[in-house]
Amino acid sequence: MKKRHLIIGAGNAGLSAAATIARLKPEDEIEIISDEPWAPYCRCLLTYYLEGKITKERLFAWGEAIIRKNRLNYHPNERVLSIDSNNLSVECESGSRKRADSILIATGSKPFKPDFPGADLPGIFTLRTFNDALAIKQKLKPGGCWAVAGAGLVSLKTIIALRQYNIKIDLFVSSKRILSQVLDSYAAGLAAAKLDENRIAIHLNEEITSAEPAAGDQLKLTSNRGRESLVDGLLYAKGVIPINPLAQANAPDNLSRDNQGAEPVNHPEPRSDSSKRQDGIALDSHLEYSANIFAAGDAARVFDLVRGRSERLPLWPLAGEQGHLAGRNMATTRPGSLYDYPGAISCNAFSFFNLDFISAGDRVIPQDNPDWHSDKTIRNDTYCRLNFHKNRLKGFILSSANHNNLNHLRKSGPLLARIRREALDRG
pLDDT at 102 over 80: yes
> What is the spatial distance between Cα 309 and Cα 395, in angstroms, rounded to a whole number?
16
- pLDDT value of position 252: 38
Q: What fold, for 124-238?
A: FAD/NAD(P)-binding domain (3.50.50)
SS3 270: coil
In the chain, where the domains are located: 4-111+241-331, 124-238, 348-424
- pLDDT value of position 380: 84
- pLDDT value of position 98: 95
Q: Could you read off the pLDDT of 123-164 as tens digits, one per residue?
A: 999 999 999 999 999 999 999 999 999 999 999 999 999 999
- pLDDT value of position 279: 78
Please give the single-letter amino acid code of residue 286: H
- pLDDT value of position 408: 85
- pLDDT value of position 243: 92
Q: 117 Cβ partners below 8 Å, 6+ apart?
A: 209, 210, 211, 212
More confident: 289 or 277: 289
The sheet carrying 89-92 orders its strands as 80-84, 89-92, 97-99
pLDDT at 250 over 60: no
Comparing CA positions, the residue from 211, 202, 220, 209 lying closest to residue 155 is: 202
pLDDT at 114 over 90: yes
Q: What is the mean pLDDT of residues 393-406?
A: 87
Least confident interval from 201-215, 245-259, 269-283? 245-259
Write a three-state SS string for 360-375: EECCCCCCCCCCEEEE
Q: Do domains 124-238 and 348-424 have the same CATH topology?
A: no
CATH class name, domain 4-111+241-331 = alpha beta
pLDDT at 254 over 80: no
| Core vs surface per residue 181-209: b (16+ CB within 10 A) or e | bbbbeebbebbbebbeeeebebbeebbbb
Neighbours of 403 (CB within 10 A): 11
pLDDT at 277 over 70: no
Comparing CA positions, the residue from 133, 152, 158, 159 lying closest to residue 59 is: 133
Comparing CA positions, the residue from 13, 82, 80 lying closest to residue 246 is: 82
- pLDDT value of position 247: 55
- pLDDT value of position 1: 81
- pLDDT value of position 152: 94
User: Could you name the CATH architecture of 348-424?
Assistant: 2-Layer Sandwich (3.30)
Q: Could you read off the pLDDT of 41-71 as tens digits, one per residue?
A: 999 999 999 999 999 999 999 999 999 999 8
| Core vs surface per residue 322-360: b (16+ CB within 10 A) or e | bbbbbbbbbbbeeeeebeebebbbbbbeeebbebbbbbb
> What is the spatial distance between Cα 186 and Cα 362, in angstroms, rounded to a whole number?
15
Q: What is the mean pLDDT of residues 24-28?
A: 96
| Residues forming a β-bridge with 293 | 103, 290
- pLDDT value of position 321: 97
| Residues forming a β-bridge with 161 | none
- pLDDT value of position 258: 38
- pLDDT value of position 407: 82
Indicate the pTM of the whole model: 0.91
Mean pLDDT score of the chain:
91
| Band of residue 426 on the pLDDT scale cut at 50, 70, 90 | low
The DSSP code sequence of 159-207 is: HHHHHTTT-EEEEEESSSSTTTTT--HHHHHHHHHHHHHTTEEEEET--
Helical pair 12-24 and 316-331, crossing angle rounded to 10 deg: 30
The percentage of the chain sitting over the pLDDT mark of 90, rounded to a whole number, equals: 85
Burial class (CB in 10 A: 0-12, 13-18, 19+), 68: exposed
Radius of gyration over alpha carbons of the chain, in Å? 22
> What is the spatial distance between Cα 14 and Cα 40, in angstroms, rounded to a whole number?
10
pLDDT at 83 over 90: yes
pLDDT at 173 over 70: yes
